[in-house]
Structure 1
Amino acid sequence: MRIILLIILFLFPFSLEGEASYGESNHQFQFSVVPIVGSETVKFELFIKNNEESPLNFEFPTSQYYEITVTDQSGHEVYRYSKGRFFLQALQTIKIEPHKTYRKVELWDYQLHGKRVPAGEYIVSATLLPRKINDKPISNNQTLLSKTKFTLQ
């Protein structure tokens, strides 16, 4: 099953639900979150694909490059990636070469207040948090967001 998923991701990495494409400010890239549900954890794979002919440099104000939140069917937040974490307060940069993909993986153990969340449908939202792309500021109202649903058994 895992091999089939990897083949699908490599052949069609951004045809999955949860993709967000950005073409504003002359920067062409795709940002997506893919949840891979396991029995004890869900793996959130985050992808940034550079669709340009030149490198993209994403500048971040801290070592937190993204935020991940999970909500239940009624909209209550059950997980926040940054909760209880500390991030380096210094400029960080990710350089993505033309037509290449940056990939990062985060895990969640289904815990909320020390207990496993119940089975059901959840929504994962991933927000990319750069302040500049190729030295051009991101506007305050521009949200780089990818959302998708997953089911926990």
Structure 2
Amino acid sequence: MRIGWKLKAEYGRVRARLEALSESQKIDEYTKCTIIDMSNKVVEHIAAKYDQIREGVKSVMGGKVLDYEAKTIRNEGRQEGILKGRQEGILKGRQEGIQEGILLTGKIFQKVKSNPGYKNEQLAKELGCTVEDVKSARKMFGV
């Protein structure tokens, strides 16, 4: 049983070093969790015949903490995905807005050229846009 205590103590030191490296940001949570998970697998093989040793070492390495940290990693990944999705959505929205603006400006220009006597309000009503859109397009084209 003396070997069991030594093994448990050594794994406790490994765990403490991993925590320190993680806190100082020399390794990330994912790396720390991966090392802990691999260490637990090594313990499973080393102490396969000794349930008390295996369970003691696993308790030091923190199976429950590993679950929590894995959730932290998952949540961070989700947040990164949400942020990237928003950024892509904003970019796509801008691109579509620019295209729609170009099309509307072209329609306004054509309508003004074919109906030079139309008032801004008439054009806006027919084209389904605002009077400001019409004024802006007229100013742009000088019509």
Question: Where on the TM-score scale, by shorter chain, does this alignment land: which range?
Answer: under 0.3
- Which has more helix, going by share of residues? 2
Q: Give TM-score, length-normalised by structure 2.
A: 0.23
- Which has more strand, going by share of residues? 1
